[in-house]
Amino acid sequence: MFAVAALMTGNALERRLEDIIGKNTTEMYNSQMNVNADLAIQLMATLTFTVGFVMTIFAILQLHFLTVYLADPVVGGFTIGAACHVFASQMPKLIGVQIAPRSGPFGLLKLPYFLFDFVALLGEANLCVVIISVISIVILMVGKYILNPLIQQRIRIPMPFELLVMIAGTLMAYIFELNVKQKVAIVGLIPSKLPMPTIPDFNHFSAFILDAVVIAIVIYSVTVSVGKVFAKKHGYHINPSQELKAMAICQLVGGFLSCHPASASLSRALVNSELGATSELSSVVAALVVLLVILLVGPLLYYLPTCVLVSVIVVALQRMFLRATEVTQYWKTSKIDLLIWLVSFLGTFLWNVSQGLGVAIAFAVLTVIIRTQWPKAVILGGMEDTELYKDSHRYSGSLISPTIAIYRYDAPLLFLNSNSFINKALDIVDDKLKMLNEKEKLYLIIDASGFTYIDYTGIERLKDLSQELKIRNVEMFVAASKAEARILFAKCNIYKVIPSTNFFPSVHDAVLFANAQQMKQKNICKERNTIDYAFTQHL
């Protein structure tokens, strides 16, 4: 997922560079254009600081709960869509061509346009670059999925095939002068010193704020998710609020050191865990090794072919693409989750990473609203020789009384769905009344255990339903309501409309009372019939 954060960062920088220099920003990556490179680094530092600022605001306001909106289907579809963007951004370097970015209205169809241009430029591919890319990818795939599992049966440390391929590629490019004779792009000069601390350019702060919010949410969500995975594996707990504060500090400090926004990486954390690391000291050692590489090894990678480096990135993306298999599970379990996944993927694929994530979250929230507004309404039936009442459609053996309707509404009773609640209740009552004669009385028992929450409008609709049922000569009981609901009932004076004697602690108690009322009514009718008969005989 760090690749996703990197892609979002790159997109934000690209848009800002377009605003500043007003031309094709692919030139930014040309090592000879020092002005654009320096500007890009300056913008990177500003963006990193802005991300840290956003995380600081989140930490102060205790907004770490926002990650709950990144549901698994949202993250799954977004990850695959973002992986497509990452892969597409590397494809030109695999064949040695350059493609100018373009898009449709509002930035739509950027990736489809890119793929169309890529296919059109296949005839201009550099054959030497293609051969190097294919060989590198094959070696990396074989090493990662075939050789390393065999090697790790004997030793715990995996063979660093990525490093071996990079060394071999660098030697080949240096010996055969591939950058001169075959026009193979190379990494070029890598600074062998750390940059001096600089103050971010706050003139670009407002331009980056929206991108920073999205990047901050993604980075924090990924970091917490990775932390939870290994917390579960090793038997400890993490504090999301503390993680947010730590990430904010990292970004703020990194903003003064020309750093890329920092994020956790599942693959790197997994390697660290498999090697037996149990503390933050392993990160210190890894950082020192990276520092040595920057100071000592950097100049040795001057002739490293860019296509070899890209091959390493492409192979690393395989883990992200494997998440596409989640679709089959969503198809089996929840069509709504499947739809969220598809919208998340298509929004990211057809638009862009940041916008796609926004579309996915908005659609996921919309599905929650829709499911709350039109939830499942259940008619319950009694299970024989028990006090349990189950969905009569799912349990064919459940017993349904002709004069008692038990109705459960599986959602909070809110202003959103209160009208739907009444309409479904009246439909049930009307269907029951059609099967009764005029002398039989119908009882509607509302199983309130499904009301996880109820607001003022919901209580008012309960009153309205009671009045509607009185017109139909139907008596309404409310059973199994939660303590919070009972408190609201008292505050909203519901007992002035619905007698307190019509509220019961359980559905079974309400059923017993309704049966008792029916027996009482039958006895009264019998007595009346007896009196009428005696009076008739007397006459």
- With cut-offs at 50, 70 and 90, classify the pLDDT of residue 534: very low
pLDDT at 344: 93
C-alpha radius of gyration, the chain, whole number: 33
Per-residue pLDDT reduced to its tens digit, 245-272: 999 999 999 999 999 999 887 777 877 7
- The predicted pLDDT at position 169 comes to 96
Residue 529 has pLDDT above 50, yes or no: yes
Bridge-based pairing state of the strands 404-409 and 474-479: unpaired
C-alpha dist (Å) from residue 365 to 83, 218, 374, 425: 24, 17, 14, 27
More confident: 296 or 405: 405
When pLDDT is averaged across residues 283-291 and rounded to a whole number, the result is 88
Nearest to 338 by CA among 330, 328, 346: 330
pLDDT value at 371 more than 90: no
What 3-state DSSP class applies to 424? helix
Token representation of residue 13: 């920088």
449, 480 Cβ separation under 8 angstroms: yes
- Counting residues of the chain whose pLDDT is more than 70, the rounded percentage is 93
In 61-202, where does DSSP find H-type helix?
Answer: 72-95, 110-120, 127-142, 148-151, 161-176, 178-181
Beta-carbon count within 10 A of 262 CB: 18
240: confidence class by pLDDT, cuts 50, 70, 90: confident
- Can you give the pLDDT at residue 64? 80
CA distance linking residue 9 with residue 184, whole number of Å: 27
Q: Which residues contact 106 (CB under 8 A, 6 or more apart)?
A: 351
pLDDT at 75: 85
Secondary-structure class of domain 377-538 per CATH: alpha beta
Q: Is 406 exposed, middle or buried (0-12, 13-18, 19+ CB in 10 A)?
A: buried
Q: What is the DSSP letter of 171?
A: H
What is the Cα–Cα distance from 10 to 14, expressed in whole angstroms? 6
The whole-number pLDDT of residue 22 equals 65
Question: Average pLDDT over the chain, rounded to whole?
Answer: 87
Nearest CA among 168, 185, 209, 158 for reference residue 97:
185
> Exposed, middle or buried, 462 (CB in 10 Å: 0-12/13-18/19+)?
buried
d(C-alpha 143, C-alpha 378), whole Å? 56
DSSP count for the chain of H helices, then E strands: 21, 6
Mean pLDDT value across residues 386-396: 90
Q: With 50 as the cut, is the pLDDT of residue 357 above it? A: yes
Q: Residues spanned by CATH 3.30.750.24 within the chain?
A: 377-538
Question: What whole-number distance in Å separates Cα of residue 450 and Cα of residue 219?
Answer: 36
Quick: pLDDT tens for 193-225. 888 899 999 999 999 999 999 899 889 988 888
Confidence of residue 320 (pLDDT cuts 50, 70, 90): confident
Q: Assess whether pLDDT exceeds 50 at residue 187.
A: yes
The yes-or-no verdict on residue 243 having pLDDT over 80 is yes
What are the structure tokens assigned to 252, written together? 């703020």
Tell which wins on pLDDT, 266 or 131: 131
- pLDDT band, very low/low/confident/very high, at 2 (cuts 50, 70, 90): low
CB count within 10 Å of CB 309 equals 21
Question: Which segments within 376-468 are labelled E, that is strand?
Answer: 377-382, 389-391, 404-409, 442-447
Whole-model pTM: value is 0.81
